[in-house]
Homo-oligomer: A and B are copies of this chain.
Amino acid sequence: MTKPRTRALCTDPQWLGRADCKHCGIRHMMMFSGLKDSDFGHILEPIDNFRYAEKAMLYSQGAQDDKVYSIRSGLVKLIQTEPDGTIRIVRLLGPGALIGIEALLNKAYRHTVIALQELDVCRIRTVTLKQLEADKPWLNEKVMAHWEQNLTFADRWISELSSGTMRSRVLKLLDFLMELQCDESSNVRFFGYEDMAMMIGASRETFSRIIGDLKDEGLLSKTEDSQVYRLSSLNE
């Protein structure tokens, strides 16, 4: 669709230690909350906790690896490159999401995944996950729920962010971002316009113009933080 302009950084992630699932602050949404200390006793390899910088790449499309990631905080974009070179962002995932699940089926990663913000993830090897699953049937159900979550997002991406006029897509995108960033009030944190445009399949210029219109109409207003805007429409 558009040519790549911003290149991903290949900074190494920072290792934060082994995961402490039992005391995870966001247990309710995470994959491995529910695991007891004793469960960690007999697993082959540990679950590790990493921090990635903004724009760092977790893995790239086509790579074959055996690692699955669970997001604790931050946001990532999933990018798909076609054989003919066109690029499109196909998904945005945040806290609670499980990425790279295709590795469980021994498939190569189908996307390039890049952090949009500072990112805190737990990483687990597929063998370890399968080993845990064998003991705990509920883990299996959780994995399925994550497939379903991914699929639901993909379908919304098609019907909300890839259909209709560019204006309606921008509005839906802003809603979508608010939902992901769930910053209490109706505030949206912006990324680069190039990324946002790529999410809805528009050019940077078109996106910029529409944002400009929304500002003029008073639907979008600045906040203290220059990256964050307040959105005042739920309608249209």
Contact = CB atoms under 8 A, between A and B. Distances in A.
Contacts of A216: none
Interface in A122-146: 140-141, 143-145
B110 A155 contact: yes
A155 B90 contact: yes
Interface in A75-112: 80, 82, 86, 88, 90-91, 101-102, 104-105, 107, 110-111
Interface residues of A, number: 34
A147 interface: yes
Contacts of A201: 162-163
Contacts of A143: 144
A151 interface: yes
A154 interface: yes
A158 B159 contact: no
B150 A151 contact: yes
Interface-central residue, A86, A110, A162, by most chain B CB under 10 Å:
A162
B86 A159 contact: yes
A144 B104 contact: yes
A151 B141 CA distance: 17
A145 B158 CA distance: 22
Interface in A175-215: 201
A164 interface: yes
Contacts of A105: 141, 144-145, 148
